[in-house]
Amino acid sequence: MDSTSDKALMMKVKKGDLDKLGLLFERYNRPLFSFFYRMCKDHGTSEDLVQSVFERMLKYRESYTGSGTFTTWMFSIARNAHIDHYRKVKRSAVPVEIDEERLEVEEDAPFVIDQKEQKKNVLEMALERLDEEKREIVILSRYEGLKYKEIADILNTTEGAIKVKMFRAMKDLKNLVTTLSEECSYE
């Protein structure tokens, strides 16, 4: 652990050197925003939740022990912030609806680009439709680069269970893409 490692910085925050939290913010505000945005698809809510994570880091700094990776600790806080937020607004059970407009092809745009864009949109919507637990695992692994062991620590389960869920999430995603592509082709 060098003096600029995440753990060392957080230990300094714990000891009262609050400016070091600024360095951690600069390192992690984008990954956290990306995590929240991919989970809730709302720009404002994602920004609020990033703020909430750093507020919690300050509030609970005394309880930081430095065990495990810093990102595991940070994403555990992020996950709780996300759960608390959706408990409050009672939106966690709202199903994601297909955005029909995003599937439409603009008439005057070149066909090749449209098809590529359309595929991307379909994949994005398939990810939104994925079961929340599996979506969370895909986001943490694929976008945030966390190891399966780290995700298992965050979700309080085993590494093997996470790997199986990741495989099944990718399979579900593939089926959702097929369904959505078919729906799209009927229009």
Partner 1 sequence: MNEKYEQLIADYLSGSLDAEGRNKVEELIASGEIDFMEFRELEKMHENLGSIPIPKPGKEMSDRFYAMLEEEKLDQKDNWVEFVSKKFKVLIAELTIPRLAYTVVLLVAGGFIGSQINGSQSDIEQLSQEMQTMKEMMMVNMLEGASAADRLKAVNISSELPRADSEAIHALLFTLNNDASVNVRVQTIEALKRWGDNEVVREGLVRSIAKQESPIVIIELADAMIELELKNGAQEFEELLRERELDYTVQQKLQSSIAALL
What 3 state SS string does the chain have? Answer: CCCCCHHHHHHHHHCCCCCHHHHHHHHHHHHHHHHHHHHHCCHHHHHHHHHHHHHHHHHCHHHCCCCCCHHHHHHHHHHHHHHHHHHHHCCCCCCCCCCHHHHCCCCCCCHHHHHHHHHHHHHHHHHHHCCHHHHHHHHHHHHCCCCHHHHHHHHCCCHHHHHHHHHHHHHHHHHHHHHHHHHHHHC
Binding to partner 1 (CB under 8 A) within 112-131 occurs at: 119-120, 123-124, 127
If one asks whether residue 166 binds partner 1 (CB under 8 A), the answer comes out as yes
Chain CA centroid to CA 59, Å: 23
If one asks whether residue 87 binds partner 1 (CB under 8 A), the answer comes out as no
* Residue 58 or 83 with smaller CB distance to partner 1: 58
Quote the least distance from Cβ 17 to partner 1, whole Å: 10
Quote the least distance from Cβ 170 to partner 1, whole Å: 5
If one asks whether residue 11 binds partner 1 (CB under 8 A), the answer comes out as yes
* Residue 71 or 141 with smaller CB distance to partner 1: 141
Contact residue for partner 1 among 14, 85, 129, 135 (CB under 8 A): 14
Placement of tokens 């093997």 in the chain: 160
If one asks whether residue 91 binds partner 1 (CB under 8 A), the answer comes out as no
Quote the least distance from Cβ 146 to partner 1, whole Å: 9
If one asks whether residue 99 binds partner 1 (CB under 8 A), the answer comes out as no
* Residue 1 or 105 with smaller CB distance to partner 1: 1
Cβ distance 25 to 56 under 8 Å?
Answer: no
Which residues bind to partner 1, rule: CB under 8 A? 1-3, 11, 14-16, 18-19, 21-22, 25, 29-30, 33-34, 37-38, 43, 46-47, 50-51, 54-55, 58, 62, 66, 119-120, 123-124, 127, 138, 141-143, 147-148, 160, 162-164, 166-168, 170-171, 173-174, 177
